[in-house]
Amino acid sequence: MIKTNSRLFLFFLLLVLTGNCAFAQQKKTIVTLQAPSNTTINKHIYGHFAEHLGRCVYGGFYVGEDNERIPNTAGVRNDVVAALKELQIPNLRWPGGCFADTYHWKDGIGPKPGRPTIVNSWWGGVTEDNSFGTHDFLNMCELLETEPYLAGNVGSGEVQELADWVQYVNHAGESPMADLRRTNGREEPWKVKFWGVGNEAWGCGGNMTASYYSDVYRKYATFMSDWTNTGGLFRIASGANVDDYEWTETLMKNIKHNLVEGLALHHYANVEWNSKGPATGYSDTQYFKTMQSAWKMDELVRKHSAIMDKYDPKKRIALVVDEWGGWYEVEEGTNPGFLYQQNTMRDAMIAGLTLNVFNNHAERVRMANLAQTINVLQAVILTKDEQMILTPTYHVMEMYKVHQDAQLIPLSVESALYTFEGETLPAVHTSASVGKDGKTHISIVNIDAKQTHQVDLNLGKSYKNLSGRILKSASLNDHNTFEKPDAIKPESFKGFKQNANQLAVELPPFSVVVLTLD
């Protein structure tokens, strides 16, 4: 006689084998490419962020003109410039962040010995000597061949101060601020297009209500005039913190649409906001929770976009996710206010997943900024004296640069599941585009910490030439160090088989793959 428990076991086994059990997971991920859309994946989605925070600017980008140990151009590290040019960064946000709303730009111009010092009250309480200011940043952007994105001081500044800054950097004719710029050694204007009108107005930018900030924004935006840019300034309002949908609703309702070109959104991935967990040595549970937090970006983009669609159905106003990335506890022994953290394969997963989300929502998401570029949060570069290393996040963004200004290919995806302790997430995340050279690129991320996943791609046509690159490692916690700077780097990928119009891809656990089809 079969015992009851044995009967139940056989019953559930039969259901799983026949595919009728609700708990039976789809074994394969099926991705179908549709016809290319009319939507362009804006290159500015791949932007970066440099705040006066920790060692991002000082010791990261800038080592001083008199530094004889580290090769530099006007104080900016040559190795950093070369690395970021290889990444083809489209824009760089500066000087903050929270720092922006305590920054008075006139403190950072003129002869450096005469510049006043301030205390960086937000980040570590260190003394800021203002040796890296407007000229230094904008000239560095020219070195990097990238567009500057200036964040204006609304929290502690005045309307005239921001209006003067616009005139100082953009006015080509005779004017008080343009003349001051020439006195300080720059004849031609820099023609800065992107401007943030405050930062995190709901928090460090003034703890304002959405209604109050709407009025403040309208006042500042009104007095920001342009003289040289075709199409005018691109003014970005301080948008919502994560899922504050009421903030987005209020701004879209209250701000005249001829005064705003972009609406910001901030979201960081971590275990929990009040218990972020370590950057390395994290547990499987902490990893899964971080992936849940990262995948929330898709929901945030969809819901904020839906609100914007009510007031702006033609999608004239961009959703600008100008702060995103992983945020963990600082490395042991470092200043808590410097936000220095290592960068592992977990961060590669965050980067690949998030960029796929942005690509797939490119109709509305037209600009974003990873936080931050060097030595802070989810950095693409870490420096230590003369040494510089590239992080797994750097390598993902380098692999994904093929999507910049490419034509979005919509996808239908039936993803296998990543299951952990009874909770599930889609295991596979992907986006695709076709470039101006006619080549199709498909980026695929398997966030599953344990399982290899097969992805069946329905391509719609066959391709003669196929190649791929992969970023993978033996352990989730693996990362590049100053002793082993190339422990993780992209390599050639051959784990696919083509059969007519279909492509079967084998994705190792926690890996990122970019395929090129021609």
Question: Which residues form the catalytic set?
Answer: 200, 323
> How many residues appear in the chain?
518
Nearest to 136 by CA among 161, 169, 88: 169
Helix axes 159-170, 176-183, angle to 10 degrees: 60
**Which of 195, 345, 324, 177 has the alpha carbon at shortest distance from 265?**
324
Count of alpha carbons within 13 Å of 177, Cβ hemisphere only? 17
How far is it, in rounded angstroms, from Cα 422 to Cα 218?
Answer: 48
- Closest by CA position to 359, among listed 298, 316, 303: 298
Q: Contact 392/471 with Cβ under 8 angstroms?
A: yes
Does residue 237 contact residue 210 with C-beta atoms inside 8 Å?
Answer: no
For residues 461-484, b (16+ Cβ closer than 10 Å) or e, as one string?
eeeeebebbbbbbeebbbbbeeee
116 DSSP 8-state letter:
P
Do 512 and 443 contact (CB within 8 A), yes or no? yes
Read off the tokens for 173. Answer: 């004719």
CA distance 127 to 117: 7
Instruction: Report yes or no: 178 and 217 within 8 Å, Cβ to Cβ.
Output: no
Contact 157/104 with Cβ under 8 angstroms?
yes
Q: State the Cα angle at 319 between 392 and 288, rounded to 5°.
A: 40
Cis peptide before 422 (omega within 30 of 0): no
Which residue type sits at 116? P
